[in-house]
Copies of this chain bind each other. A is one copy, B any other.
Amino acid sequence: MRNDQVFKALADPTRRKILRMLGRGEMSAGEIAESFPITGPSMSHHFSVLKSADLISGRRDGQQIVYSLNTTVIQDLMTVLLDTFKQEPIGEES
């Protein structure tokens, strides 16, 4: 896990909102982009940053790219954060 890339990816509010949207289920690049006032290429850049951080994955479905949350890496992120701040693990593995 590339911590630095993950935290840098989270530093942008647009990318955090993308993650929250994908938390509800997978969506195509276009569907996601509709919710933002920025251009397609800019959105594509954000997807690319999130992919590099392994926070999301994309698969092609016809003409569209469908993105989804990479929950494994997100679990790891939580672990790192808990470690960073010395909080007690929350209801961890059984």
Contact = CB atoms under 8 A, between A and B. Distances in A.
Contacts of A88: 23
- Dominant secondary structure at the A interface: helix
Contacts of A8: 11
A63 interface: no
* Category for how many chain A residues contact B: 20 to 34
A86 B7 CA distance: 18
Given A20-B84, A93-B20, A11 B13 contact: no
A8 B7 CA distance: 8
B13 A93 contact: yes
A90 B7 contact: no
Interface in A1-36: 3-4, 7-8, 10-11, 13, 16-17, 19-21, 23-25
